[in-house]
Structure 1
C-alpha cells in the first residue's frame, strides 16, 4: 500500500478531506508520511533551509538570544529550545557562537521539540557532546525562562483553505474524481474565524487558517510572559493570509500538490498577524514583523561574512546574498520576536 492508496480508501470511507487533513497525512502519517520516511534537508533532499546555507545564520540567531538573556539579567537556569530543529545545524551553530558569551551555555538546558524519530537520530549525531533533551511538543518543556527559535517551523503546519462566496465561505477539500485525487469545494456557509476578513476580500478569494499555529505560539508566549525569555520566529509569509499558498517541493522543484502524496514536502505561507495576535493575547510583547535580510544585516552578518570570506570568498558571498538579498530569502522570509512586557526589544527588531 502507498499513501495514495490509503488516502483514496479514507476518502471513500469518510468523504473528502480538508486541506489540513490531507497535509497532515502527507507529512506525518506514521508509516507513509514525508517526515517519517526520509531526511528531507540539503542538496540530496528536497529543500535547503537557512542554517544549511551558512553557519552565519545559526550563529547570529544564537547571539541574538544570548543578548536577550543578558538584557534580562542573565538568569542562572533557562531553557534554550528550538521548534522543528531539522538536522540540528542551527542549534549547533548557535551553541558554538554563544560559547563566547560568559555563562550562557553553562546556564542553558537545551531542548529540541521534534516528533520525528529519524530526525531526532540525526540531531543526536550533529549535537554530540552537548547535553540535549527532546520533547514532542512545547507543553513538554520544563518551566523556566524560555529562549526559543522556530525557523521554518510554522510553514509546515497544515492549513485549511476557504474560498469566499458572498458573505459565506466554501472550504476547499481533497476528494476523488474517477479514482484520482482532486480538489473540490464544500457548500457555502459562515465561518466565525473569518468574519473579519469579509472587509478585505472579494468573491473567489482564498484565505488560509492554520488551526495548530495559535495554540503552539500561545503556549510559547505564555511561558515567556510568565517566566521571562524570548522567541525568534523566522519563516516565509506575510502579515495577513490571502490566496492559495500551499506548495509541494520534490528534489528542489515545485510539483503539483496532489501528485505525489508523502513524497514531497508540503508547506504554506505563515500569517504573521495571527502569530502576533496570539502572543499578545497571552500577555507577551511582539515585535514588528521584519524582513530576514534587514534583521540579519542589523545583527552584523556583513562583518561576519567578511571574516569567513578569508577562507572561502566565493561561497561566503553566495551565502550572504541568498540569506539577505531582496530577490532571494531577504524579503520572502520574515522575523517576529517575542519578549516579556517591558523587556528591552530584541536585537535586530523594532518593538
Structure 2
C-alpha cells in the first residue's frame, strides 16, 4: 500500500511514494487518484467534468423508480430498502423516490458514498437518507433494491499486457515527476480467461477485482434477504481485449497519467463478469441490454410526451433530452439486472 499522507499535492505525494518504493499497479494508482478526486469536489454539471443521465433529465430517475416499484410490487411488497451506490448529487434517488412515492412505495433510503462534498449535496436532495461508507453496513433485516448508475466504471482496474509468450501486470512508474505505464513481472496464465491466453503481443486485458467484490458482497445479501441490483454503465460483454482506461476533465478526454487527482478516471465495465459474480451467489441475471432499448421498453416516449403536454414551453428541450438518453448514450451504455431467485422477471429485459 502506498503512503501518500505526507504534504504537497496528490501528484507530488504519489511521485515520492513511487520513487521510494517502486512502480505500483494501475489499480492502486487509480484508487488513489479517484479517492482524492471525488472527496474534494462536485464533478457534475456544466461547470464540472462530466454529466450523467440523471442530470440530463428527470425522466431517467423517474423510470428507474417506477421500474423498482413495479418489481417490488410483483415480488409481494416485502419490507425493502432503497439503496444507491455512488449517488452523485442525489438527483437519481430524488427523482426515483418521488415517482415511487406516487406509485405507493416509500422505502427507507440508504446511500453508499464516501465523499463529504457529495454527501452534502445528497442531503439537500434526499434529506431522509442514511449514509454508508461501504455496502457491508447496509440493512440485513429486509430486501435491498440497489441501483448503481455509473458506479462500477470508477472502481479500480488491473491491466494485464501481453509481452512475448507471457502476460504481465501493468504498473505505473514515475520519472522526473512524470507518470507512465510500464510492464511489471509476469502473472500466472490462469488469471487470464482461457480464450485470450494466446493473444498477440501488445494485447491488453482489463479486470476489476473491486467490482467483483462489491457484486459478490451484495449478491450474498440479496440471495438471503431478497431484492435486486440494477447496474447501468458504459461497457461491454466480455471477456474482451482492449484498453479503456480514460480520464475526463472539463467534458473532454485527457491523459489519465496527468493531473492526478484532478480528473475523473474510469474504465468500461465488463458486464459478463458482473453477471457471473452475481450468479455465483445464486442470483438470476437479466441482460445486459442497451440503455436505449431498456428506456424505450419502460416507456420513455410516453413520459416525454406527458411532460411536454404539461410543460409546452419545455417541449423542445424534452425532445433533446430524450435523444441524448436514447440515441446519444443508448448504445454504449448497458443495463444489467440481478434478482433474488424467488423474485419476478424485472421489466425492460424481455
After TM superposition, give the deviation of residue 199 of structure 1 in Å: 5.2
**In the alignment, which residue of structure 2 is the partner of 1:283?**
282
Q: Tell me, what secondary structure is at the counterpart of 2:18? A: helix
Structure 2 partner of 1:55 = 58
What does residue 247 of structure 2 align with? 248
In the TM superposition, what whole-angstrom CA distance separates every residue of 1:71-98 from its partner, at most 9, and x where no partner exists? 11001x2111000000000000001111
Aligned to 1:149: 147
Q: Secondary structure at the match of 2:295?
A: helix
Closer/same/farther in 2, CA of residues 165 and 80 from structure 1, 3 Å limit: same
In structure 1, the residue matched to 2:90 is 88
Instruction: Write the deviation string for residues 103-157 of structure 1: whole angstroms up to 9, x where unpaired.
Output: x11xx111001111111111001123xx210111111101110111000000000
Contact residue 19 and residue 161 of structure 1 kept, 8 A = yes
Q: What is the deviation of 1:198?
A: 2.8
Q: CA RMSD in A?
A: 1.4
Alignment match, 1:223: 221
> Which residue number in structure 2 is paired with residue 158 of structure 1?
156
- Are the aligned partners of 2:189 and 2:197 in contact in 1 as well (CA < 8 Å)? no
Contact 1:167 1:198 (8 Å CA) reproduced: no
Q: In 1, Cα distance between the equivalents of 2:116 and 2:177?
A: 33
The aligned length equals: 338
Match of 1:321 among 297, 319, 323: 323
Instruction: State the shift of 1:257 in Å.
Output: 0.9
Q: 2-side partners of 1:79 and 1:193: how far apart?
A: 36
Asked if the contact 2:38/2:115 (under 8 Å) is kept, the reply is: yes
Query: Pairwise mapping of residues 237-316 of structure 1 onto structure 2 (< 5 A)?
Result: 237-240=235-238, 241-310=240-309, 311=311, 312-316=314-318
Larger mean Cα displacement after TM superposition, 159-168 or 314-323: 159-168
In 1: Cα distance, 2:303 partner to 2:116 partner: 34
Q: Secondary structure at the match of 1:99?
A: helix
Q: Aligned equivalents of 1:333 and 1:200: distance in 2?
A: 29
Aligned match of 1:8 in 11, 15, 21?
15
1:349 match? 349
Stretches (4+) displaced over 6 A = none
Shift of 1:195: 4.2
Q: Name the residue aligned to 1:134.
A: 131
| Residue 187 of structure 1, CA deviation | 3.1
Aligned to 1:70: 73
Distance 1:36 1:232 in 2: 25
State the secondary structure of the residue aligned to 1:215: helix
CA shift for structure 1 position 168: 2.2
Give the 3 Å change call, closer, same or farther, for CA 316–101 of structure 1 in structure 2.
same
Structure 1 stretches lacking a partner, 5+ long: none
2:204 to 203, 206, 211: 206
Following TM superposition, by how much is the alpha carbon of 1:191 offset from its aligned partner in structure 2, in angstroms?
Answer: 4.1
- Give me the whole-angstrom Cα distance separating, in 1, the residues matched to 2:222 and 2:247: 34
Aligned to 1:275, what secondary structure does the other structure show? helix
CA offsets per residue over residues 29-70 of structure 1, 9 Å max, x none? xxxx10111100111110000000000000000110111101
* Cα distance in 2 for residues equivalent to 1:156 and 1:183: 19
Deviates more, 1:227-236 or 1:184-193: 184-193
Alpha-carbon distance change, 167 to 66 in structure 1, aligned in 2, over 3 angstroms = farther
What TM-score, normalized to structure 2?
0.93
Which piece of structure 1 moves more, 195-204 or 299-308? 195-204
Preserved CA contact (<8 Å) 2:283 2:340? yes
